């Protein structure tokens, strides 16, 4: 049990607990704050896997930009515990059962595969080593092999920006 | 770490997202649960990319095996950011028309 293992279990527990609190919190603002904690924990996982570029981008884009946008909208609409729509308890139960069935069935598949499938037996991830997560290598690949998807994503951003403005403006 | 630990973790995170989408009625929370599911997939992609790196790392220290997984995560983040901007604009418009973010109001789209 070395430091990497301890950090892995700690971050996993933090991720799952915060994710549960996201869907259990009654106040939407608390949900957003728990979700930011989830993103920080996932960034910690990326650092453990030596994906340093993605760890920083995850913090800047998700925890920084997207969550601030969510928080802005929640505060703009003045949502709180009292305005939270109530859902039928049977619908909640049905949703939980549906999600649980998915969890159980896929867990069963993985559990059977991890002892029999050649894709999974004795496969481990490289922790804290390897150079593919560094910005130098990612940038080189991005601007040589993947330059066309990169340019297309800029068109996607432009159209999303125009779309958001058109949808959001008052008629 | 063995790869199946990461698979179980991402699976649990994904299922929490599914349960959140199915049980909550606030449109913004539903949207946040979708982000949760996207992040579960991102984590799994990075873990798989490091797994492929590990397969050749012992013999070749400067290999770029598995780098596609991390680039894919990068593009998923791009798409997620675009999706959030449009989605939140739709939610604000929904609120302006109905004075509520309850997704059950959307069933009036049926008529």
Phi and psi at A108, nearest 5°, equal -60, -40
Over residues A126-145, mean pLDDT? 85
Over residues A152-171, mean pLDDT? 89
Closest-approach residue (CA) in chain A for B84: A66
pLDDT at A19: 93
- CB within 8 Å: B86 and A61: no
Residue A171 has pLDDT above 70, yes or no: no
Contacts for B63 with CB less than 8 Å, ≥ 6 apart: B53, B56, B57
Banded model confidence at residue A42, pLDDT cuts 50, 70, 90? very high
Share of chain A above pLDDT 70, in %: 98
- CB within 8 Å: A127 and B29: no
> In this predicted structure, which of A46-50, A54-58, B61-65 has the lowest mean pLDDT?
B61-65
Q: Are B37 and A19 in contact (CB under 8 A)?
A: no
Mean pLDDT over the full length of chain A? 88
Q: Between residues B95 and A80, which one has the greater pLDDT?
A: B95
Inform me whether the C-beta atom of residue B56 falls under 8 Å from chain A C-beta atoms.
Answer: no
Q: CA-CA distance, B2 to A4, in Å (whole number)?
A: 12
Residue A13 has pLDDT above 90, yes or no: yes
Banded model confidence at residue A163, pLDDT cuts 50, 70, 90? very high
Nearest to A17 by CA among A43, A35, A44: A35
**CATH code, B66:** 1.10.287.3510
Q: Between residues A120 and A137, which one has the greater pLDDT?
A: A137
Mean pLDDT over the full length of chain B? 87
The ipTM is 0.91
Closest-approach residue (CA) in chain A for B49: A125
Gyration radius from chain B CA atoms = 19
pLDDT at B110: 65
Q: Are B52 and B69 in contact (CB under 8 A)?
A: yes
Inform me whether the C-beta atom of residue B19 falls under 8 Å from chain A C-beta atoms.
Answer: yes
Alpha helices in A28-87, H assignment, sequence order: 28-48, 52-57, 67-76
Q: Between residues B101 and A138, which one has the greater pLDDT?
A: A138
Q: What tokens appear for B1 in the block?
A: 């770490």
Q: CA-CA distance, B5 to A78, in Å (whole number)?
A: 40
Q: Please provide the CATH number assigned to the domain covering A1-85.
A: 1.20.120.1200
Banded model confidence at residue A122, pLDDT cuts 50, 70, 90? confident
**Residue ranges of domains in chain A:** 1-85, 87-129, 134-171
- CB within 8 Å: B86 and A167: yes
Q: For an interface test with A, give the residue of B81, B91, B102 to mutate (most A CBs within 10 A).
A: B81
Which range marks the domain in which residue B71 is found?
3-110
Banded model confidence at residue B33, pLDDT cuts 50, 70, 90? very high
Over residues A81-102, mean pLDDT? 84
pLDDT at B43: 94
Which of B:21-50 have CB within 8 Å of A? Answer: 21-26, 28-29, 31-33, 35-36, 39, 42-43, 46-47, 49-50
Residue A50 has pLDDT above 70, yes or no: yes
> In this predicted structure, which of A153-162, B76-85, B100-109 has the lowest mean pLDDT?
B100-109
pLDDT at A4: 87
How many domains does one find in chain B?
A: 1
Contacts for B97 with CB less than 8 Å, ≥ 6 apart: none
Contacts for A128 with CB less than 8 Å, ≥ 6 apart: A4, A48, A49, A50
């Amino acid at each position: 049990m070395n430091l990497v293992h301890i950090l892995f279990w700690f971050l996993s527990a933090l991720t799952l607990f915060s994710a549960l609190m996201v869907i259990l919190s009654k106040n939407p603002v608390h949900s957003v704050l728990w979700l930011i904690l989830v993103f920080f924990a996932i960034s910690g996982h990326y650092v453990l896997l030596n994906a340093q570029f993605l760890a920083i981008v995850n913090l800047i884009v998700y925890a920084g930009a997207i969550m601030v946008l969510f928080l802005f909208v929640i505060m703009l609409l003045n949502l709180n515990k009292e305005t939270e729509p109530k859902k039928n308890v049977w619908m909640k139960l049905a949703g939980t059962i549906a999600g649980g069935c998915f969890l159980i069935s896929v867990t069963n598949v993985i559990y059977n595969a991890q002892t029999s499938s050649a894709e999974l037996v004795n496969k481990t991830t490289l922790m804290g080593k390897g150079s593919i997560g560094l910005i130098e290598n990612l940038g080189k690949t991005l601007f040589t092999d993947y330059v066309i998807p990169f340019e297309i994503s800029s068109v996607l951003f432009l159209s999303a920006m125009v779309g958001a403005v058109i949808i959001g403006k008052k008629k | 770490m063995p790869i199946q630990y990461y698979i179980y973790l991402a699976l649990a995170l994904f299922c929490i997202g599914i349960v959140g989408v199915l049980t909550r009625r606030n449109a913004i929370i539903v949207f946040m649960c979708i982000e949760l599911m996207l992040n579960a997939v991102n984590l799994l992609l990075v873990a798989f990319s490091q797994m492929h790196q590990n397969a050749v790392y012992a013999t070749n220290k400067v290999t770029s095996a598995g780098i596609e997984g991390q680039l894919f995560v990068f593009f998923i983040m791009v798409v997620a950011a675009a999706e959030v901007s449009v989605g939140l604009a739709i939610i604000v418009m929904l609120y302006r028309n109905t004075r509520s973010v309850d997704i059950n109001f959307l069933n009036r789209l049926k008529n």
